[in-house]
Amino acid sequence: MFATAIRCLAKKPKPKMKPIELRTPPEQTQSITRAIFDVVKEHGPLTIADTWEHLKEVGLRGLTSKRQMKFVLRWMRERQKLRLICNHDGPHKQFLYTTWFTKSNAMLSSGSREGSSLH
């Protein structure tokens, strides 16, 4: 018990992450976030890969890469426009993005789809 306490105190705390600052113009940021929010709202809880596929179908001009989309998703989470939920299925975890207005029962039933990739 004493050794466990020493081990816990010896660990360095996780560094605080500074807020994300998007480098796109405000008008472009607004159109990108609106498109992402609409896709997530319409198609329910989505993984990052599913969100990227739906956004490619929409054909959004300002979004150039999946990496940029991940930054925007994290930025939207900071501002509480989206939330990230974890769906456990045995040893597997599936992280899904959803709006704050989606009911939890609908998330769990639609979140356990076959063919979704894990991220």
CATH number for the domain harbouring residue 40: 1.10.10.10
- pLDDT value, residue 104: 55
Residues 6+ positions from 69 with CB-CB distance below 8 Å: 36, 48, 51, 52, 55, 63
For residue 86, tell me if it sits in a domain.
yes
Task: Please check whether residue 17 lies inside any domain of the structure.
Answer: no
Q: Which of 116, 17, 29 is nearest to 68 (CA)?
A: 29
pLDDT along the chain (119 residues), means of 10: 81 82 92 96 94 93 93 95 91 93 58 48
Coarse DSSP helix, strand, coil percentages of the chain, rounded to the nearest 5 percent: 50, 15, 40
In this predicted structure, what is the pLDDT of residue 27?
94
Task: Give which of 85, 81, 77, 76 is closest to 103, Cα–Cα.
Answer: 85
Domain tally, the chain: 1
Say whether pTM exceeds 0.75. Answer: no
Residue 74, domain member (yes or no): yes
| Domain contains 90 | yes
Report yes or no on 2 lying in a domain: no
Give the integer Cα–Cα distance in Å for 45 and 97: 5
Nearest to 46 by CA among 18, 87, 92, 9: 87
The pLDDT value recorded for residue 74 is 95
Handedness of CA 57, 49, 52, 86 (dihedral sign): positive
